[in-house]
Chain A
Amino acid sequence: MHFIINGRDVDVAVDTRTSLLALLRDHLHLAGTKLGCNQGACGACTVLADGERINSCLALAVQYQGREIVTIEGVGAPGTLHPLQQAFVEHDGLQCGYCTPGQICSAIGMAAELARGVPSFVTEDLTAETIDLTHDELRERMSGNLCRCGAYNGIVAAIGETFGGAAGDTSKREAA
């Protein structure tokens, strides 16, 4: 089977039952993508497939042959961190660090959804051309990524600062 992971071609034969998550963690040792529930409930396994965020635990690897997969290892490494990763460090948007790669990949996918004008449950005007990243929009859109340490405030601050909008502005955030 042929995969494109973080811009590199990977050829590997795996059991057809193998999830994309297991392919990454167990077979390719890309352990930055995390296993938290194996049923799409926690978001720790979030990766980007052709730029869209998916729960890799619910995806069979065979379905993703030939598609562009980006994992946390492809987002940035110490020394060359992505601005969002840097913002997570500065705003302490993490504690144990286990849900963190999923939060970061999810936020990158979320920003792209917002840029495409995809509405959410809390969007007031479903026909609006552009949607602001308000505090509520950000929190609603990130609610598929659980953080049991409760670093949510820092995560929201980091994403808001990186992707702009009202959520990046503390004064507006408090008014929201």
Chain B
Amino acid sequence: MSVVQDAMQALMKKAVALAPDQWIPGGEPDPLIGHKHGLIGASISRIDGPLKVAGQARFAAEFPLEGMVFAALHYSTIAKGRIVDIDTSRAQSAPGVVQVMTYRNSPRLNPTPPFMSQPKAAGGDSVPVMQDDRIHWNGQPVAVVLAATQEQADHARCLIRVRYAAEPCVTSMAVAKAAGTEPGVFQGEPLKLEIGDAEAMLAAAPHQVDALYTTPRHNHNPIELHAATLAWDGDRLFVHDASQCVDHVAWSLAQVFGIDEANVHVTSPYVGGGFGGKTLWQHQILAAAASRLAKRPVRIVVSREGVFRMIGGRTVTEQRVAIGAQADGAFDAIIHTGFVAMTPHNNMPEPFILPARSGYAAKSFKLDVETVKLDMVANTFMRAPGEAVGTFGLECAIDELAVQLGVDPIELRLRNEPERDPTTGLPFSARHIVQAWRSGAERFGWHERSATPAARREKDWMVGLGCATATYPYYRMPGGGARITLTKDGRATVSISAHEMGMGTSTAQTQIAAERLGLSMEQVTFVYGDNRLPGTVLAGGSQQTAAIGAAVVAAHRLLVTELLKLAGNDSPLAGLKPDAVGGLDGGLSKLDEPDRGESYASILGRAGREEVTVEAEAPLPLELQHWSMHSHGAMFCEARVNAVSGEIRISRFLGSFDCGRIINAKTAASQFRGGIVMGLGMALMEETQFDERTGRIINPSLAEYHVPVHLDVPEIEVTWTDEPDPHTPMGARGVGEIGITGVGAAVANAVFNATGKRVRDLPITLDKLL
């Protein structure tokens, strides 16, 4: 970017920050925030629940196509080099085999547009897919077999023999760091920030903590494997995908295959978990390329090992956290710096400094994420990228400082509560974290905690309590759009290319649309999961609810305008402006005079219309530059550590959240709990073991990569402030990711309280406590 562009962008940012509120999306509160006793916030069972419990929700690998063949992938066993020879003759002649594809016969493909490089880029990396003999990581696909059955494809794949010429590779963090690092760049901005001289302030502070915290690689491991069922019709490609970004996948596939975006149709009605991993990876591209070659529809289901080999996860981090404080606990300096690994082919510098940017007041800051490049599968977004691991370092350090100061760790946090965003100076859109801490502490019984470590013992079990702040920003990405169709019988269909991967999207959005339109949920249909629908909505960054919300607000305004036109002068609504009316009891009414209204049936009937359809786009998300917008949570953990074996059990957990208005109490509670469960996994067991000698992942299975099971998970209590954010659609902020944040630290702090042992390296396995 040129100096002039930089300056223009900085100027625009300043202008948006200083603009009057009413010029900014969310400047006028969404009228739904005022609806107190309707569908918003109700505890409603998910509407697709019956389909799912009956096994009738159809996932990507469950659409049979006529003449379909099954795919199997063969993966490289070196981290860098080239293929000298690849013998596919035995595979080619094995029973049932239709096609074997390698770089030698693959169709010519364009490089994959990597995520965040362009608005609809979805690729995990930019490596050209099977276009040459080059190997970029240990586990890269080198051959695709298509056969009549999965068993035949799997068997034939075993018959492939590859000879490699290995070249020197960089697979060790230490070696890579020694060769030099580069500052991370995230969302167009460097992950580097200095306010004041933090090192000097730290050195001069009467109290200091300064330690290194490390977190390993993680894999998303949704139980549904990455999969696609696809077919070509001439130059048109149809894909049933398991995707959290159907529009992005369609556009990116179009670039790869050099075809018109309109010729790619991607559907993904149900996704068996995503967590950031279900974007565009090589498997969809390889299946589509092989399908083109073989002229047959293809189903590809990546094996569990394959998911570890070719789908990236969260990268490794090494974080230094140092805090300098006065005797009263006021922070003089916050230093959060360190290193993350990525690859030469992607740009995802795990932004672990994000929590420190807005969490606490301090007189000085030094924040920096430095990156190194390794020859490994490209790392990617995983639930709360940055915050999940960043809160581990930061929130453990605060606990360490509280011990040193002899202050209660909650009290220490509240003493450093900022009035405005401490690093941008922007006002907070809404921040009720103090309320979340107070009510959470009360419900959890925090006052029963002994400040002295290892003070409570029950038989062989040492028991401790710990806490930490959870945090995740409000995001809304550009591209939201929605269509509303209202029919004469008073039914509405809301269509948007959004996603359902467990969040309860269709349920929450049906509630919202029904409340906005003044209809019952039965009268509203929410259609999603298809790139041909309006809008471009990524299910990521916990932004989907807001992105859909803003698009529906815009479409609804158009609908009301249109209906008022149709109603004409013979209606009780005559003369009213769109802003003065809203949906109520199957029609439109004046907001402050509910008896003055007319039903949709009557308006459309008199106008002789069967239906009205409107489509609108959401405004640009300027609110993000006008306010500092963040959700928070107060996390409480009770850990029991066996004095003999070091075994750790979590016996109680409570999350007290401040995430704006909650849309559906039942599904939101599940989102919070689900995040906490994944956080418990991160705290206690999850680790993708990467062999730094060979660059190979050595535990690529659910038998060796441990995730929490039933017996690992206690009853998790969740509660929320339900304070609406006045500047977001429905007053809501996302709830999908915040649950995982703060959990690692809350567990580590509870383990310290139980044992007096401070573990700064995740996961906290029993060997680290013996």
Could you list some 17 contacts between A and B, CB below 8 A? A15-B151, A18-B151, A26-B70, A32-B54, A34-B55, A36-B225, A36-B304, A41-B702, A72-B54, A98-B273, A101-B53, A136-B711, A139-B711, A148-B223, A149-B273, A150-B675, A152-B708
Interface mask (A63-107 → B, CB under 8 Å = 1, otherwise 0): 000000001110111110100011011101011111111001000
Q: Is residue B596 within 8 Å, beta carbon to beta carbon, of the partner chain?
A: no
Of B44-52, B252-260, B556-564, B757-765, the one touching chain A: B44-52
- Give the residues in chain B near A139, CB-CB below 8 Å: 710-711, 713
Q: Is the CB of A92 within 8 A of B670?
A: yes
Count A-side interface residues using an 8 Å CB cutoff. Answer: 65
Contacts A100-B52, A147-B223; is A35 near B61 (CB within 8 Å)?
yes
- Give the residues in chain A near B711, CB-CB below 8 Å: 122, 136, 139-140, 143
- Contacting residue for B222 out of A77, A98, A151, A156, CB 8 A: A98
* Chain B positions 454-512 with a Cβ under 8 Å from a chain A Cβ: 501-504
Q: Give 8 A-B pairs besides A37-B702, A94-B53 with Cβ atoms closer than 8 angstroms.
A: A41-B703, A98-B224, A148-B273, A149-B674, A150-B678, A150-B713, A151-B673, A153-B715
Contacts A78-B50, A148-B273; is A38 near B304 (CB within 8 Å)?
yes
Q: Is the CB of B223 within 8 A of A152?
A: no
Interface mask (B708-747 → A, CB under 8 Å = 1, otherwise 0): 1111010110000000000000000000000000000000
Q: Is residue B271 within 8 Å, beta carbon to beta carbon, of the partner chain?
A: yes
* Chain A positions 112-154 with a Cβ under 8 Å from a chain B Cβ: 122, 136, 138-140, 142-154
Count A-B contacts at CB 8 Å. 197
- Give the residues in chain A near B702, CB-CB below 8 Å: 36-37, 39, 41-42, 146
- Contacting residue for B55 out of A38, A101, A150, CB 8 A: A101
Q: Is residue B669 within 8 Å, beta carbon to beta carbon, of the partner chain?
A: yes
Closest 8 interchain pairs by CB? A32-B55, A150-B677, A97-B52, A98-B272, A95-B502, A96-B502, A150-B674, A72-B55
* Chain B positions 178-221 with a Cβ under 8 Å from a chain A Cβ: 220-221
- Give the residues in chain A near B331, CB-CB below 8 Å: none
Q: Is the CB of B710 within 8 A of A142?
A: yes
Main secondary structure of the interface of A (DSSP, over half): loop
Contacts A78-B51, A81-B54, A153-B716; is A92 near B666 (CB within 8 Å)?
yes
Interface mask (A8-36 → B, CB under 8 Å = 1, otherwise 0): 00000001011000100110010111111
Q: Is residue A44 within 8 Å, beta carbon to beta carbon, of the partner chain?
A: yes
Q: Is the CB of A88 within 8 A of B272?
A: no
Interface size bracket, B side = 35 or more
| Bound Cα distance A22, B299 (Å) | 13
| Bound Cα distance A35, B151 (Å) | 14
Interface set of B (CB-CB < 8 Å, partner A): 45-46, 48-59, 61-62, 64, 70, 149-152, 155, 220-225, 270-273, 275, 301, 303-304, 501-504, 666-667, 669-671, 673-678, 701-703, 707-711, 713, 715-716
Q: Is the CB of B272 within 8 A of A152?
A: no
Main secondary structure of the interface of B (DSSP, over half): loop
| Bound Cα distance A142, B57 (Å) | 23
Q: Is the CB of A89 within 8 A of B50?
A: yes
- Give the residues in chain A near B61, CB-CB below 8 Å: 25, 31, 35
Q: Is the CB of A78 within 8 A of B56?
A: yes
- Give the residues in chain A near B667, CB-CB below 8 Å: 92, 95
* CB nearest neighbor in A for B148: A15
Q: Is the CB of B709 within 8 A of A96?
A: no
Q: Is the CB of B669 within 8 A of A92?
A: yes
Q: Is the CB of B53 within 8 A of A39?
A: no
- Contacting residue for A153 out of B50, B503, B678, B713, CB 8 A: B713
- Minimum Cβ distance to chain A for residue B275 (Å): 8
- Minimum Cβ distance to chain A for residue B500 (Å): 8
- Give the residues in chain B near A26, CB-CB below 8 Å: 70, 149-150
- Give the residues in chain B near A81, CB-CB below 8 Å: 50, 53-54
| Bound Cα distance A156, B673 (Å) | 13
- Minimum Cβ distance to chain B for residue A55 (Å): 12
- Contacting residue for A31 out of B50, B62, B220, B673, CB 8 A: B62
Residue among B52, B151, B155, B666 with the most chain A CB within 10 A?
B52
- Minimum Cβ distance to chain B for residue A134 (Å): 12
- Contacting residue for B301 out of A35, A96, A99, CB 8 A: A35
* CB nearest neighbor in B for A141: B710
Contacts A41-B701, A104-B53, A143-B711; is A25 near B62 (CB within 8 Å)?
yes
